Amino acid sequence: MGWAVSTQEVSAGDVIIARLHGEACWDCGAVGSPLVPAGDVTVRGSEATWPIKRCVTGHSDTSGAQL
């Protein structure tokens, strides 16, 4: 399965730190599942980018995912 890698911008208050550091799935927050690279995010007002990860199994619809 291929993954679309992209960069998105988020507000610092809208994201859980484990997701921002790639320690949890960006979409669902799982920490016990195998994770794969899913792109980068930039915190609004900063130039730093953070690599994020998603569950290997993927998610059918991530549009409503909570950060």
Residue 23 within any structural domain of the chain: yes
Instruction: Give the CA distances from residue 9 to residues 5, 16, 39, 42, 56, in Å, rounded to whole numbers and listed in that order.
Output: 14, 14, 11, 5, 23
Q: Can you give the pLDDT at residue 36? A: 93
What would the pLDDT profile of 7-64 be if each residue is shown by its tens digit?
666 666 666 778 877 889 988 888 888 999 988 888 778 888 888 899 998 776 544 4
Residue 11 within any structural domain of the chain: yes
- The residue type of 61 is D
Q: Looking at the whole model, is its pTM more than 0.95? A: no
Backbone dihedral region for residue 29 (phi beyond 0: left; psi -120 to 50: alpha; all else: beta): left
Residue 61 within any structural domain of the chain: no
Query: Residue 23 belongs to what domain range?
Result: 6-55
> What's the rounded Cα separation, in Å, for the pair 17 and 46?
15
